[in-house]
Structure 1
Amino acid sequence: MRSHSGTIIILLFLIFLLPCCKKAQSPKEVLYVQFNNDLSTLIFRNEQFLGFVRTMKNKAELQAEFLKLRMQYKKVEAFTEYFFPTTVRLVNGAPLDEVEDEENAVFEPGGLQVIEELIYTTDLLERDELVRHVRKLNVNLMRIKKLWVDIQVTDSHVLDALRLELFRLITLGISGFDTPASGHAVKESQQVLQSFQQYLKVYEEMIPSFKKLYDQTESAIAFLSKTKSFNELDRATFIADYINPICRNLHAYQKSAAIPFIRDRRLLRGDAATLFEPGAFDAEALLTNSRFAASADRIALGQKLFYDVRISGNGKTSCGSCHQPQLAYSDGQKTSKGFANEVMTRNAPTIRYAAFQQALFYDLRSPSLEDQAADVIHNKKEMHGSMQDIARLIGSDAEYIKLFRKAYPGIKNVPPAYIQNSLAVFVRSINPFNSSFDRYMRGDKQALTLDERKGFNLFMGKARCGTCHFVPLFNGTVPPDYQRTESEVLGVTMNTDWKNPRLDKDAGRGAHNHFPQWQHAFKTSTLRNVSKTAPYMHNGAYESLQQVMEFYNEGGGAGLGLPVPNQTLATDKLRLTKPEVKLIILFMESLTDH
């Protein structure tokens, strides 16, 4: 009996001891399970919502249930966007056809934004269509669930995903980019920050400044909760005083903890503390070969070539003819004059910040600055030059020989690739990021006036400018990973006669890629230095920013009554008042480099 009792005591001891011996889970392991549970809840809510779609007759009640679904998605957004970017386009992508040029295919949009459009409408519910899209959403959520099983999460990945989610919040979230119909951007932004807190909490014991981070996030949530409506949100203050400090603190923790930053050669550097830090963007990220990296000598060679009229066919035209520094590297003409003084069909855009686009020209036909340089030089209507002639010039001119040998030591001949590279290197060097807006976002509270800040809030809110001109590049390169540059169909008119509008005939991307979706599509140009680059649009039809704002205020070409069935710009009128338009223009003028 004594032996039996002893055995029981030992067994009981072992039972109590085993949990104590169980290896404690690491923060990333805890987070892995937490995300998996949140994802399961999202799938459950979507299945619930499918039932509501089939039975609910009251549209307001259905919209309320949809908001619950959206809020649950915002809980998992950071990691779905980070680990499953392809699938997530069918979960929360824009409600526009996905055109895959290389595959010569068009894919139907799907997901939450498509569903939102179907239920936030004054028309009768298309119930069968709604059911179809909710079921498609479930398929893609289940796909993410299956893929998550094989994901190997590291601390670097977790912190990178959370950092990018904060950047997504201040670029897309508060602009209403993915909530155009419901207008729930402020509520969803609160959920994003609450989720940020919950996921970061698993690192509480590892983060000495965790309480500070938590309290900063709590303050940001409180700031949003006091905002009465989407249009009233003070976005300038929210970013500068609330989110940027959180980002800097998160960055400082990761650095002190010696957790490596993700370095994957993207436009936005993996170690950027905020979107607004000097050097946050890498102008050379899109280089495919490191031997063509920038150097002071290569910039000097490229700059000399850029302003040398001898590289053109008639010895009268240089790159600088159409891209003049005093005009932010534009030319002030409605449309530029090319070879033999021939008038071109398109306006010369600024080339400042051109390095931060995934494709070049208004029609996005060129994949790199190097290719763009060759295209312009060889174009018979523009410069009518040749790389062979430029190579001979460099090889026969004493100053050029010296510059080239310093720029590319060991290269005996002058291959065209090096000529193109030197011009591209120069263009990549002219991105100062030193406007009043930049200084304000870096902590100089006096850099923007109150009216300029009001203009920014309108730009990002009521005017919807920020849903196409993304902060802080203010072009069409989509945050927060900046891996894709978008074009838009605006229905640009031939002039500013709004009462008798005529659609500009330029097909844009549609001239090279004959997809109906790309007819009259043009790249979204940067608004940096926009006060210096008049006239505006691809055809130079609008002489002032006032006219540009009038066009947008009318809802673009379709809003003016023109037949633009594929217009991507919202066609409803913005209803901006004259004082509001003035404020937005004041803000855009604050984007001028000093």
Structure 2
Amino acid sequence: MRLSVIVVSLLLLIICAYSIFELKSNDTLAVNSTRQWYHQSVDNLDKKVDLLCKALSEHQSAEAVQHAFKETRLAYKKIELVIEFYHPYTAQFMNGAGKETQNFQALETTIFPVLQPDRAYTEVRKLKSVMGRLEKESEVIQPTDAQLFDAMRLELVRIMSLGLSGFDSPQAGNSLPEAIASLDGINEIWKFYVPKVSIYNPALVKYMDELMLASKARLQTEKDFNRDQFVTEYVNNLAINLKMAREALRIPYDNQQYILDPAASNIFARNAILPLYSSPDTTTVTNDPVYNVNGQRYTARYLHSLLRQNSALNSYVRGK
């Protein structure tokens, strides 16, 4: 009898030890899989930029150039969450906005609504030169589980403030397809964590997958699209699910102070927004979408400013 108990106990210990080893391996697998996916996606973006350069150098039709541009920025949007989080200064060179307009933003104005081939070619060559910098940076990226969950959450805010508002695609009018591409990027990284999350909360995985599909389907229905409703019913719930998954996996939060609190369930949570360097301003920009967050009004442009500051701050913290 005692021998049987000892044997059973040993078997249970072996099973537990194997399970712990497997879960730790899954942590490494998710990070490594993300790194591999990112390298491949950067290569894909570079190929799209080459095709756009080719379309302009060969004097292809305006429709062909516009299509190539849209395909290129969709490829960028799919990995935007990683670029913005790990390479914020390169991201500014690639997709800067406002007074800092350059590359994608500047290129868009030379292609839409009327193609200006010479100016467009000058701008796309600038974009190609920045791609070399991005490729080098992507080779040395060292993500962690905590950082990847932060990056996914921040991308949801970016979709809300830049994508759905039209702020990031004023001339091409391709905001909703670009938002879908951004969601695809989040989903690619999320899938690497699904096997482990399924152990702790399979219902959450099922709901997350259903919500992601429903979100993209809603974005494909441009007729009667309601931005505020989408943020409330989809973006908000996706953010909550990511927080629940992170906590199920026991991925810790650090003690650093970020402009967008990583521990907040979503941007609408109390004290989620920490305006360290800016103050809310809804008066300087007209026709700028306004979001009401816990009684405070934030413009899409202000949220964009927060995201830029947050990326720079995160980059500084990682470099310490």
Q: Normalising by structure 2, what TM-score?
A: 0.78
Q: Residue 483 of structure 1: CA displacement?
A: 5.1
Compare CA radii of gyration and give the structure with the larger one. 1
Cα deviation 1:495-546 (Å, max 9, x = unaligned):
xxxxxxxxxxxxxxxxxxxxxxxxxxxxxxxxxxxxxxxxxxxxxxxxxxxx
Matches of 2:307 and 2:255, distance apart in 1: 14
* One-letter amino acid of the counterpart of residue 73, structure 1: Y
Q: Is the 8 A contact 1:92 1:110 kept in 2?
A: yes
Aligned residues: CA RMSD: 2.7
Q: Is the 8 A contact 2:95 2:103 kept in 1?
A: yes
Equivalences for 1:335-350 in 2 at 5 Å?
none
Residue from 257, 272, 288 that aligns with 1:465: 288
Hey, what does 1:357 align to over in structure 2?
Answer: 279
Equivalences for 1:203-218 in 2 at 5 Å?
203-208=193-198, 209-218=204-213
Matches of 1:483 and 1:44, distance apart in 2: 27
Equivalences for 1:250-399 in 2 at 5 Å?
250-282=242-274, 285=276, 356-357=278-279
Matches of 2:212 and 2:309, distance apart in 1: 29
Q: Residue 250 of structure 1: CA displacement?
A: 0.8
Q: Is the 8 A contact 2:150 2:262 kept in 1?
A: yes
Q: Is the 8 A contact 1:477 1:484 kept in 2?
A: no
Q: Is the 8 A contact 2:88 2:308 kept in 1?
A: no
Q: Residue 44 of structure 1: CA displacement?
A: 0.9
Greater mean deviation of Cα atoms: 199-208 or 156-165:
199-208
Cα deviation 1:571-592 (Å, max 9, x = unaligned):
xxxxxxxxxxxxxxxxxxxxxx
Matches of 1:483 and 1:88, distance apart in 2: 10
Q: Do residues 190 (structure 1) and 180 (structure 2) align? A: yes
Residue from 168, 171, 179 that aligns with 2:161: 171
Q: Do residues 116 (structure 1) and 108 (structure 2) align? A: yes
Q: Residue 281 of structure 1: CA displacement?
A: 2.3
Hey, what does 1:246 align to over in structure 2?
Answer: 238
Matches of 1:164 and 1:118, distance apart in 2: 30
Q: Residue 482 of structure 1: CA displacement?
A: 4.2
Uncovered stretches (5+) of structure 2, i.e. residues with no partner? 1-24, 199-203, 311-320
Q: Is the 8 A contact 2:59 2:117 kept in 1?
A: no
Hey, what does 1:536 align to over in structure 2?
Answer: none
**Identity percentage of aligned residues:** 24
Cα deviation 1:46-98 (Å, max 9, x = unaligned):
011100011134212211111111111111111011111111111111163x4
SS of the residue aligned with 1:206?
Answer: helix
Q: Do residues 127 (structure 1) and 117 (structure 2) align? A: yes
Hey, what does 1:477 align to over in structure 2?
Answer: 302
* One-letter amino acid of the counterpart of residue 477, structure 1: Y
* Distance verdict in 2 for CA 1:121–1:95, change over 3 Å: farther
Q: Residue 203 of structure 1: CA displacement?
A: 0.9
Q: Is the 8 A contact 2:260 2:273 kept in 1?
A: yes
* One-letter amino acid of the counterpart of residue 260, structure 1: P
Equivalences for 1:424-443 in 2 at 5 Å?
none
* Distance verdict in 2 for CA 1:471–1:57, change over 3 Å: farther
* Distance verdict in 2 for CA 1:27–1:153, change over 3 Å: same
* One-letter amino acid of the counterpart of residue 26, structure 1: L
Q: Residue 190 of structure 1: CA displacement?
A: 1.4
Uncovered stretches (5+) of structure 1, i.e. residues with no partner? 1-22, 99-108, 287-355, 364-458, 486-594
Matches of 2:55 and 2:308, distance apart in 1: 37
* One-letter amino acid of the counterpart of residue 287, structure 2: R
Hey, what does 2:3 align to over in structure 1?
Answer: none
Structure with the greater relative contact order (CA < 8 A, sep ≥ 6): 1 or 2?
2
Matches of 1:470 and 1:478, distance apart in 2: 9
Hey, what does 1:32 align to over in structure 2?
Answer: 35
Question: Number of residues paired by the alignment?
Answer: 275
Cα deviation 1:114-158 (Å, max 9, x = unaligned):
111001134xx4323221211111111220110122221100111
Q: Is the 8 A contact 2:161 2:303 kept in 1?
A: no
* One-letter amino acid of the counterpart of residue 274, structure 1: N
Q: Residue 227 of structure 1: CA displacement?
A: 2.0
Q: Residue 218 of structure 1: CA displacement?
A: 0.6
Hey, what does 2:314 align to over in structure 1?
Answer: none
Hey, what does 2:58 align to over in structure 1?
Answer: 55
Cα deviation 1:158-188 (Å, max 9, x = unaligned):
1110110011111111001110001111111
Hey, what does 1:226 align to over in structure 2?
Answer: 221
Q: Do residues 157 (structure 1) and 147 (structure 2) align? A: yes
* One-letter amino acid of the counterpart of residue 213, structure 2: E
Q: Residue 470 of structure 1: CA displacement?
A: 6.6
Residue from 87, 92, 109 that aligns with 1:89: 92
Matches of 1:480 and 1:255, distance apart in 2: 28
Q: Is the 8 A contact 1:53 1:127 kept in 2?
A: yes
Q: Is the 8 A contact 2:35 2:141 kept in 1?
A: no
Cα deviation 1:314-350 (Å, max 9, x = unaligned):
xxxxxxxxxxxxxxxxxxxxxxxxxxxxxxxxxxxxx
* One-letter amino acid of the counterpart of residue 218, structure 2: F
Equivalences for 1:511-522 in 2 at 5 Å?
none
Structure that is richer in helix per residue: 2
Q: Do residues 236 (structure 1) and 249 (structure 2) align? A: no
Hey, what does 2:75 align to over in structure 1?
Answer: 72
* Distance verdict in 2 for CA 1:480–1:29, change over 3 Å: farther
Q: Residue 248 of structure 1: CA displacement?
A: 0.5
SS of the residue aligned with 1:207?
Answer: helix
* One-letter amino acid of the counterpart of residue 193, structure 1: L
Q: Normalising by structure 1, what TM-score?
A: 0.43
* Distance verdict in 2 for CA 1:481–1:262, change over 3 Å: farther
Q: Is the 8 A contact 2:158 2:307 kept in 1?
A: no
Matches of 1:160 and 1:201, distance apart in 2: 16
Q: Is the 8 A contact 2:163 2:179 kept in 1?
A: yes
Q: Is the 8 A contact 1:111 1:134 kept in 2?
A: yes
